Copies of this chain bind each other. A is one copy, B any other.
Amino acid sequence: MTGTPLSRSEAKDLTRRRLIRAAFAILDEEGEAGLTTVKVAKAAGIAQSSFYVHFKDRQDLLRALGDQAGERLRATMREARRRAREAPDDSERHRDTFRIPLEAICGHPELFRIGLRARHDPSSPLQGFAVETSAAYRAHLAADLAAMGFPTGTERDRRRLEMVADGITALTNAMAVGHIEGRYPDLEEVVDVLVAFSKGYLRLLPPARRAAGAE
C-alpha cells in the first residue's frame, strides 16, 4: 500500500499525531471524563502501555492538546486579522470583522467546543489555557476598539471597553454555537444580527469618529 517505508522517528511522530488526533476526537465526543489512556491508545491503534512512550502521563497529553489548540487558535486569529485588513470597502470590512471569526470558529468546531467547556470547569487542566485564551482575545478586541476611537482616558472608559469586547466575543460565540447546532444555518443572517448589535455599542463612540466605524 504505502510506497515509503518510514524511518523510526517518522513512525513515532506519526503515532504521536494519531494519539493527539484521537484525543481531540474523544474530548469532543465524550468530554474530558471520557479521555482515558485506554481509549486514546486503542483509538490510535497501539497498546495502552505504549501511550507512555509518547507522553509522561495523562496530564502531559492534556498539556500537549492545550499547546496545539492554542497554536491553531493564534494562527486562526492572525489569519482573521490579515483578511479583515484586506477587505474591500468599509461596510464590507465591518461585516468581515464578524464574519471572519465566525468562519474561523466553524472551521474547527471541536476545538471551539472544547475551549468553551474547559472555560468554566475547575477540574479541567485545560481551564487555564481557556481562560488565558479568552482574556487574550478580549484584550486584543479591546485594543482594536480603542484604535477605532473609543475613549480610553479613565479607568471607567477602559473597563467599559473591556465589557464591550467581552460582549462581542460572547455574542460571536453564541451565534457560532447556534450555527454549529443547526439553528442558524445561514451565516449571513447571523452576521446581520451581529451588525445590528454592533450599531448599539458604536453609539458609545465620540460623534466625530462614528462615521468611520458605523453605517
Contact = CB atoms under 8 A, between A and B. Distances in A.
Interface of A: 29-34, 113, 116-117, 120-124, 156, 159-160, 162-164, 166-167, 169-171, 173-175, 177-178, 183-184, 189-190, 192-194, 196-204
B30 A123 contact: yes
User: How often does this chain occur in the complex, in copies?
Assistant: 2
Contact of A201 (B163, B177, B193): B193
Nearest to A195: B200
Contact of A159 (B30, B169, B189, B196): B189
Given A167-B171, A167-B175, 5 more contacts: A32-B121, A116-B120, A166-B175, A198-B200, A200-B203
Contacts of A201: 193, 196-197, 200
B199 A203 contact: yes
Contacts of A29: 122
A34 B196 contact: no
Contacts of A160: 189, 192-193
A110 to B, nearest CB: 11
A192 B204 CA distance: 10
A189 B174 contact: no
7 contacts: A31-B123, A163-B190, A163-B193, A167-B175, A167-B197, A198-B200, A199-B199
Contact of A178 (B34, B163, B202): B163
